[in-house]
Structure 1
């Protein structure tokens, strides 16, 4: 579960900073940073505001009150924009607060300006040969897609899956490329609400391993 300490740690790691470097920015020691990150001490409101200002995140997000942070991605003008590569996404845990960050990928500032993005590492063979185990898919966050789009979907609270979506008036069908591993599965409108079937985003780019 995400805590104040883990959020501070993730912000520092995203910025590729050491505890000593962050301590200098905030005017405190690296040992104090370590205490914060391990939830053995809590920063006062002044330090919290400095953290929010430096990392450009909202106070409510830092405190775990809101799942939305001011900037979901770190951007340097004129350079690539870094987005987190997630190993998995679980139900009920906002993408911004997940601790399962494997790495970071860069997208162009032009693409980043069109919305919020994250990346997901592919597990399994259901989308072969187009997407292979270990590939990384760049995802634009949105709660709906067009019929025929490849989407990242949570079904019944399980780990997120990557499938092509076919929309019908009475429900949707999730379609794998490799039908020998995963047969097309239809969910009625009633099942979509009951399970639920939740669309997290649209796959916009694939990055394969050599």
Structure 2
């Protein structure tokens, strides 16, 4: 995929466009986003690759750097497929994801996130307990899981309340919900504590920030 980002930069320069020019054509409010994309710091979905190709007056296949296979047996590189998932403002405990009706918006994400047929959903971050990695208003893409590895950032239910985002640390007899903001204290729970049950709702696979 790094070739894609180099091709975007080369084509933009070839057309005599500035990064601001391209940002305006694509509707990016933050002009520095083009610099981040050209340096490979931001992954592009299939729909975004097509949008860049249109803005740069080039075929998506050429922008991707596909090989000419007319005289050889090289297989073309395929764009990753994407799927559309809902983004929620809150995920109430005890309600299956598919049954939640308060959808804020829909976003496209790479289909490979849903490995093993896992359900995906988006959730808007609220508060600053996970600052600076996560900011209030960020959208996290979550793969629904009932368990996680120690150290993963997860959406969890505690005591039956709405889902919250925390780093999950697993010890031999306890589970720790670790905020990233040092102003907040970690909270420790015993496994199988019926009075303070902790349930994993899903694992974060991507952060999206509107700029």
How would you bin the TM-score normalised by the shorter chain? Answer: 0.5 to 0.7
Which whole-Å CA distance do the structure 1 matches of 2:202 and 2:113 have between them?
15
Contact 1:81 1:112 in 2 (8 A): no
> Is 1:118 aligned with 2:121?
yes
Q: What is residue 161 of structure 1 aligned with on the other side?
A: 164
Runs of 4+ in 1 over 3 A off after TM superposition: none
Q: What is residue 197 of structure 2 aligned with on the other side?
A: 196
Contiguous gaps of at least 5 residues in structure 1: 1-76
Which whole-Å CA distance do the structure 2 matches of 1:137 and 1:126 have between them?
15
* Residues 93 and 169 of structure 1, relative CA distance in 2, 3 Å threshold: same
Q: What is residue 137 of structure 2 aligned with on the other side?
A: 134
Partner secondary structure for residue 93 of structure 1: coil
Which whole-Å CA distance do the structure 2 matches of 1:190 and 1:81 have between them?
36
* Residues 125 and 156 of structure 1, relative CA distance in 2, 3 Å threshold: same
Tell me how many residue pairs correspond in the alignment: 132
- Deviation of residue 179 (structure 1)? 2.3
CA RMSD of aligned residues (A): 1.7
The two structures have a TM-score, normalised by structure 1, of: 0.59
Partner secondary structure for residue 194 of structure 1: coil
- Deviation of residue 186 (structure 1)? 0.3
- Deviation of residue 110 (structure 1)? 2.6
Contact 1:136 1:208 in 2 (8 A): yes
Deviations 1:96-138 (A, max 9, x none): 1011110011111232344211010000000111100000000
Which whole-Å CA distance do the structure 2 matches of 1:156 and 1:122 have between them?
19
Which whole-Å CA distance do the structure 2 matches of 1:113 and 1:171 have between them?
29
Q: What is residue 80 of structure 1 aligned with on the other side?
A: 82
The two structures have a TM-score, normalised by structure 2, of: 0.59
Which whole-Å CA distance do the structure 2 matches of 1:136 and 1:163 have between them?
14
Contiguous gaps of at least 5 residues in structure 2: 1-78
> Is 1:143 aligned with 2:146?
yes
